[in-house]
Structures are given as C-alpha cells and as structure tokens.
Amino acid sequence: MLTILVANRKGGCGKTTIATHLAAAFANGGLHTALADTDRQRSAIGWLKRRPKHDAKIDGHDWTKSIGKPPKRCDRLVIDAPAAMRTSRVEDLIRAADIVIVPVLPSTFDEAATARFLKRIDALKPIRKEKTGVAIVGNRMRPRTRAGARLESFLANQGHFVAARLRESAIYAELAADGRSLFDLTTKRAAALAEDWDPLIAAIERSR
Amino acid sequence: MTSAAPSAPVEIELKLATDADGLAALSDAPELDGQSSVRRLDSTYFDTRDRRLTARGITLRVRKIGRRYVQTIKTAGKGSAGGLSTRSEWEWPVDGPKPDLSVIDDHSVIGLIGLVRPQELQAVFGTRVRRATRTLEFGGARIEVALDDGEVVAGRRRQPLHEVELELLAGDVDPLYELALALNRRHTLSIDPRSKAARGEALANGSAPQPKFQSSIDLPDDVTVDDGLALILGNCLTHWTENLPAVREGSDPEGIHQARVALRRLRSALQLFRPVIGAAEIEPLKHRLRALGNAMGPARDADVFIDEMLGPVATAMPQETSLAVLKQAAEAWRREGYAEARMALDGPQATEMALSMGHWIALRGWRQQPYSPTVEWLDRPMVDLADQLLQRRLRAVLKRGRGFANLPADARHEVRIAMKKLRYAVDFCAPLYPSPATKLFFKHLKRLQSLLGHLQDQAMTEAALGHLEGGGADAKLQRAVGLVAGWHAHAMVDLSTRTNAEWAAFKSAKPFWHV
C-alpha cells in the first residue's frame, strides 16, 4: 500500500480537490483506493457522498475524530489532512505517509507561512532521512503570470521543486459539486486538463 | 504490494546463449529431433519515461504473432541459478501494436504495476526473432525447445541474438537440466541469465553488461537446513552466473573479480555444510570448482599487487618514474591473468559447471545420500546447525591464535585461514540472527581479517616482485622493485602492532549465536 498525504496549513489551497482527484485517478486505474478525511469540514466525505454509483469505487474513511487504522486490502490510501493541525498530529500522519503533497496557490500565496510549513516538515525524521518524499503542487496556475514565476523561484530557494502545475479551470468547481473528477470523464477537454496531473502521479508512483 | 499472488502462472525455463553457427548446428541436433514450427516474433517493450516498470522488475511487451497482437507482462525472476529462471507471466490479446493496460483483469498485476497513465508509456526497445519451436518428450518430461535467431534493436543500436530456450511444459526440472547438459556436450553454449528485456534495456542505455555484487541471502529465521541450503547455494550460484555476461563482454575487471568471489563463496558454502551435505556429494563438485578457481588465481594476484602493494607506493611518490615501469609490467601480467580467467569462465566447462550445480541444487543433491543420523539434520531448523558450525569455527580461530602477539608468520597464516572460514560461516548464517550483536561481531571480524589479509598479501609481494623483476636486466624495474619491497617491509612493523590490538578486540567480541 502506498499512502499519500495531502497537507498544507493554509486552508483553501485545493487540498480536497487534489486528494479527491488523486483517489479517483487511482480508482480508475483499477487500484483498490481509500480516501481518508481528517478535516472537520468533511469536504472529502461530502464529495464521496455525492459521487455517482457507476463511477470507480473509492472507500471513504472518516478520520475527523481520530486517525484510524490503514484499511486492509488497499493499494492506495489518500489522506486529506486538516488545515490548522497540531504538530504532533501532522507528524503522526507524515510518519504513516510515503509521500506528502503540498498544494500551493500562487495568487494567495504567503511566502512566510509556506516557508515555515516546509521548514517544519523538512525537519521531521522520515523526511529528513528521505524515507518520505515531498511534492509541491502549484494549484490554479495561470501560465506566464508573475505570481507563478515568483512561486517557482521562491520554492527553488527553499530546496523544493514543483512536481506539477495544475491550470486554473472552472471545471474543478463543477466536478466537486458532482462528486466527480477529471479522471471520471471521457471528454477531450477533461483529458487535456488531466494531463497536468501526469507528473504528480508519476512522482507519487516513483515513491513506492 | 510487491509480489505476485502465488497463483500467478509461472514459467520454468533454461536459457542458454550461443552464436549463429551454434544455432545452425542445434537445429540439426539428434537430441532435438522432431517436427519444428517456425514463427516470426516481433516484440516491442514499453516503459514510462521514468522507467517505473523496470524499477519494479516488470516487463511489458506487445508481440506481433502473424496478424495478432499479444500483450505480455512478466515479473522479475527469483534468481537465475544455473540458467534456470522462474518468472510470473500474464498474457492478453490486444487490438494493435500499442499496449493497453485497461485489459488487465487480474488485480495482483494491477497492484504490481500501480498507476500508469496510457500516454506515459513509450517504446524503449524491440526484439525481432525467428523462433523455431518443437516439443520433446525427454526423460518423462514434456519440454518445449525454442531456437531464437534474431536481434535486439534500440533506436539505431543493434545486437545479434542467438538463444536456446528449454521450457518445462510438464514433469520434473530434472530432465530439463539433463537435456541442457547433453546439448552442452556437443555444442557451444553459454549461460546468459539476462532476459531479452534486460538485454534490450542495456542496449537502449548503451551500457555493457554490469558486474553484479552478491545479494543478501533471504533466510527466514525458522528455515530448515534443507531449504536453507537451497537458498544459500542458490544465492552463490546466481552471484556467479549473473557475472558471466560481464566476464564475456564487459571491459570492467570487476566482472571477473565478482565471478571469482562467487566461485570462492560457492566452494566455501560446500565446505561449511559438508557435515550435512555428505562428502560423497561434494567431492565431484568441489573438484571442478577448484579447477575453475585456479584459473582465476593469477588475475587475483595481479589485482592485489597493483591495488594494494604498488598503489600506495605510487600515490606517495608520484615523481618516481621507475614505478611507472613496474606498473606497466604489472598491467601486462594482469592482462594475461584476466585473459586466462576469461577463457576458463567462457568455456564449455563453465557452462557445464553452472548447469550441473543448478541441477544438483534443484534436485537437492544432499537429500540423495544414504540414510544416516546427519540426514535427520536436514529437517531441523537451520539456526540449530548454524549455532554449532559458528561455534566450531570460532573455536578453531581462538585455538590457532593462542599467544597471538608472539606467533611467527606461518602460525599467523594458519590463524588467517581459520579466520577466513569463520568469515564465510558468518556471511552465510548471519541472516538468521538479525540483531545489533551480529553487526558488531562482524565489524570486529572484518577488521581483523583485513589486517591479517594484508600480512599475507605482503608475504606474497616478494613472490610477485620476483616474478615481475624478470631476471633483473632493467635497472629502473629493479629500483621500483626495491622501493615497493622496502616500503612494505617497513609497513609490516606497524601493521603487526595494529593487528595485535585488533586481535584483542576481536577476542572480546561477544558471539551473536546461541552458545
């Protein structure tokens, strides 16, 4: 089993979008997939409830009260981490993860807060010892904007690289409302947007 | 999930390499008499850009057979001892020349591959083969013999491919080996444990066959002596055969070095477990192993001389031109040694040895001895036997090393030999004792062994220098010989003190086994 933790202290940076999309990508690939929600807002659980029955199956786990046991017979476990999270809890989750995905928005991007967060997780033992990888995802990126360029140079200075750049699109909001993902659609438009995710999926799969 | 389900279909085959003439001769061989059918097999192998499938030991290929396309997934083999490979293999028909992972219905395969997005897959290399197959009844088994004639293609690079594959369709592995041995008696065959995929991958990367280091022996701590023997001997044999391609084609001397180490390990394992294997089984094998090992001797001596003896002197005195002259003479000596080693390892007796050894391990030759109390050991836990063997070998070291500081050179040589035997016993049995004590003991042992080895190497320096001096006509050569001899004579004094200290440390190291 490969455990993927999607985490950032800041809310609204697209954690749930990324967690639900990754889970759907794995499930559509035929892998036994579980999605665990640790955020009190329960947005991932809500998304699962809205998910149509005929779409690829994802097992939901409500971990908002306490962190549960990893499910049995599971190939990929995606954990949607809560926003404001106590250090000890983050550490527990990171220890259990094979890779930590950190979404960052260029528009509302707060250099000081992100630097603090990255510094904190870099100091954790599994990450320091390179047992757990860290992949940063630029979310809602507009090509050739100054905010995007600033984000990339800032991350490079922190010793991190951007694993994937997800273009901004209204489709994400529609999909969230339907409990679906790009990976559940067969349209050309969805396929083109889904390609943004390939480098992230490859980075996750390499961490095995 | 890292391993295939036990129910996965498994392919058991022996694969041997030959050349174009060899292949032609084989197609008329009386042993392979039978109606053969010829097919063209053009295969393309795929992987992601970051080579995730290769990293997981998965091969994905689409093969064109007539007008059909078949997609095949194979997993990494569990060892290739004596040319025998066992791998899991799955097949699905597909519509065209491109792979289609969505047709995979077996969840164990999906779990193995993980998520690969269709557009990530790209062709890496291909094989074009004319395959002549026939099915034989041999010694009660049904064996499919495939003679492959073709090439591996990666971009503009090409490499000829001539192989014989003997696949067991029904029956024991025993006749499979007997057929291979019979063929080897009349034809030029060599062991090439690399799959076509591995060869293609190497060609695509432009890399020569790589030397392989020994892999750790996967001994469960409750393994029986019987199973433990198969695992340990299989590990040594694999270590050897995996280095044969590098010996044949590689320019890196490490391949020959590793092949030599592997042979030494194989002999040592037989020697260590002699009490349970039985002398009658061991003698014929040991005899042949020794002949191969002897052919490696000069290569090893030259390596030691150049790296350990001449090396430090040349580094310390870079201005000294006479050392370059000696180096030249030593390199010529080393080339000769390697040529001799390569010839022995590439010859029919090496193939014979690998096949017989593989056969013997597959048959569990140690089970064939007449009943005696030692045979009962085979079903007992390996760890019980290991306790005794380790203790016995440690006692031998301590006995020979009594009064170590005052021992003369020849007595220290005896200690070194006993030490080496203990080292092998620890090497083979350590996986049974996963604890920090094992590591600590091993550390002390290695340190002392390395120092004792130096003492021995220095004694050998005299002989090597005598050999290289070549009658003493060359003044420069003589000067260099004098420098190296003098350097090491002085080093001996210091080395001796350090060895005494290491001996004391080793003596107080706590054994990790159950005494």
Interface confidence (ipTM) of the complex: 0.88
Q: Which domains does chain A have, with CATH numbers?
A: 2-206 (3.40.50.300)
Question: Quick one: closest CA in B to A73, which residue?
Answer: B1
Query: 3-class SS at B177?
Result: helix
pLDDT digits (tens, 9 = 90+) for B134-154: 999 999 999 999 999 999 999
- Say if residue B459's pLDDT is above 80: no
pLDDT digits (tens, 9 = 90+) for A139-150: 888 777 777 788
Backbone dihedral angles phi then psi of residue A174, each to the nearest 5 degrees: -60, -45
pLDDT of residue B483: 86
- Say if residue A126's pLDDT is above 80: no
Question: Quick one: closest CA in A to B2, which residue?
Answer: A1
- To which H or E segment does residue B460 belong? helix B436-469
Sort out which chain B residues have CB atoms less than 8 A from A31's CB and list them.
Answer: 110-111, 114-115
Sort out which chain A residues have CB atoms less than 8 A from B99's CB and list them.
Answer: none
pLDDT digits (tens, 9 = 90+) for A59-99: 999 998 888 888 888 999 999 988 766 667 777 888 889 99
Smallest CA–CA separation between A36 and chain B, in Å? Answer: 19
Question: Quick one: closest CA in B to A204, which residue?
Answer: B115
More confident residue, A104 or A90: A104
CB B302 within 8 A of CB B334: yes
- To which H or E segment does residue B234 belong? helix B225-249
- Say if residue B445's pLDDT is above 70: yes
Residue-averaged pLDDT of chain A: 87
Q: Determine the Cα–Cα distance for residues B55 and B201; give it in Å rounded to an integer.
A: 12
Give how far the C-alpha of residue B257 lies from the chain's centroid of Cα atoms, to the nearest Å: 11
pLDDT of residue B52: 94
More confident residue, A129 or B501: B501
Q: Say yes or no for a CB contact (<8 Å) between A202 and B119.
A: no
Beta bridge partners of residue B144, listed in sequence order: B135, B167
Question: Which residue of A31, A58, A182, A186 is the best one to mutate when testing the B interface, meaning the one whose CB has the most B CBs within 10 A?
Answer: A31
Is domain B10-207 annotated with CATH 2.40.320.10? yes
Domain ranges of chain B: 10-207, 257-508
- Say if residue B85's pLDDT is above 80: no
Tokens standing for residue B271: 């020697």
- Say if residue B8's pLDDT is above 60: no
Q: Say yes or no for a CB contact (<8 Å) between A26 and B117.
A: no
Q: How confident is the model at residue B3 (pLDDT cuts 50, 70, 90)?
A: very low
Sort out which chain A residues have CB atoms less than 8 A from B117's CB and list them.
Answer: 198, 201
pLDDT digits (tens, 9 = 90+) for B162-189: 999 999 999 988 899 999 999 999 998 9
pLDDT of residue B7: 40
- Say if residue B80's pLDDT is above 50: no
Segment among A160-164, B3-7, B79-83, B337-341 with least mean pLDDT = B3-7
Longest alpha-carbon distance in chain A: 46
Q: How confident is the model at residue B4 (pLDDT cuts 50, 70, 90)?
A: very low
Q: How confident is the model at residue B211 (pLDDT cuts 50, 70, 90)?
A: confident
pLDDT of residue B251: 67
- Say if residue B394's pLDDT is above 70: yes
pLDDT of residue A26: 97
- Say if residue B511's pLDDT is above 80: yes
Residue-averaged pLDDT of chain B: 87
Q: Determine the Cα–Cα distance for residues B150 and A200; give it in Å rounded to an integer.
A: 39
- Specify burial of residue B435 (Cβ count, 10 A radius: 0-12, 13-18, 19+): exposed
* CB nearest A26 (choices: B1, B49, B115): B115
Q: How confident is the model at residue B346 (pLDDT cuts 50, 70, 90)?
A: confident
Q: How confident is the model at residue A31 (pLDDT cuts 50, 70, 90)?
A: very high
Sort out which chain A residues have CB atoms less than 8 A from B101's CB and list them.
Answer: 29
> Residues B91-101: what's their mean pLDDT?
94
Q: Say yes or no for a CB contact (<8 Å) between B119 and A208.
A: no
pLDDT of residue B125: 95
Q: Which residues contact B402 (CB under 8 A, 6 or more apart)?
A: none
Question: Quick one: closest CA in A to B106, which residue?
Answer: A30
Q: How confident is the model at residue B233 (pLDDT cuts 50, 70, 90)?
A: very high
Segment among A9-18, A29-38, A107-116, B294-303 with least mean pLDDT = A107-116
> Residues B494-507: what's their mean pLDDT?
87
* CB nearest A208 (choices: B110, B114, B119): B114
pLDDT of residue B192: 85
pLDDT of residue B239: 93
pLDDT of residue B254: 81
Q: Determine the Cα–Cα distance for residues B307 and B254; give it in Å rounded to an integer.
A: 13
More confident residue, A56 or B485: A56
Q: How confident is the model at residue B1 (pLDDT cuts 50, 70, 90)?
A: very low
pLDDT digits (tens, 9 = 90+) for A166-176: 998 999 999 99
Query: In chain A, which among 68-87 make CB contacts under 8 A with chain B?
Result: 75-76
Q: Which of B360, B353, B229 is nearest to B296 (CA)?
A: B353
Fold for the domain defined by B257-508: CHAD domain (1.40.20)
Q: Identify the top-confidence range among A137-146, B225-234, B281-290, B317-326.
A: B225-234
Q: Which residues contact B64 (CB under 8 A, 6 or more apart)?
A: B40, B41, B42, B43, B97
Smallest CA–CA separation between A201 and chain B, in Å? Answer: 8
pLDDT of residue B9: 58
- Say if residue A19's pLDDT is above 70: yes
- Say if residue B83's pLDDT is above 70: no
pLDDT digits (tens, 9 = 90+) for B268-296: 999 999 989 888 888 888 888 888 888 88
Residue with tokens 């990666």: B154
More confident residue, B383 or B463: B383
pLDDT of residue A128: 73
More confident residue, A28 or B220: A28
Q: Determine the Cα–Cα distance for residues A85 and A65; give it in Å rounded to an integer.
A: 13
List b or e across B254-280, with b for residues whose CB sees 16 or more CB atoms inside 10 angstroms: ebbbbbbbbbbbbbbbbebbeebbbee
Which residue stretches of A10-145 are H helix?
15-28, 43-50, 87-96, 111-122, 125-128
Query: For B456, left (φ over 0), alpha (ψ -120 to 50), or beta?
Result: alpha
Q: How confident is the model at residue B250 (pLDDT cuts 50, 70, 90)?
A: low
Angle at which helices B409-429 and B436-469 pack, to 10 degrees?
A: 130
Smallest CA–CA separation between A5 and chain B, in Å? Answer: 17
Give me the percent of chain B exceeding a pLDDT of 90: 44
Measured between its terminal Cα atoms, the distance across chain B in Å is 38
Question: Quick one: closest CA in A to B103, which residue?
Answer: A30
- Say if residue B87's pLDDT is above 80: no
> Residues B63-72: what's their mean pLDDT?
92
Query: 3-class SS at A38?
Result: coil
- Interface of B to A at Cβ within 8 Å reads 1, 48-50, 52, 55-56, 101-102, 104, 107, 110-111, 114-117, 119-120
**Measuring CA to CA, how many Å separate B170 from each of B131, B145, B375?**
21, 13, 30
- Say if residue A16's pLDDT is above 90: yes
* CB nearest B111 (choices: A25, A75, A205): A75
CB B194 within 8 A of CB B212: no
Q: How confident is the model at residue A101 (pLDDT cuts 50, 70, 90)?
A: very high
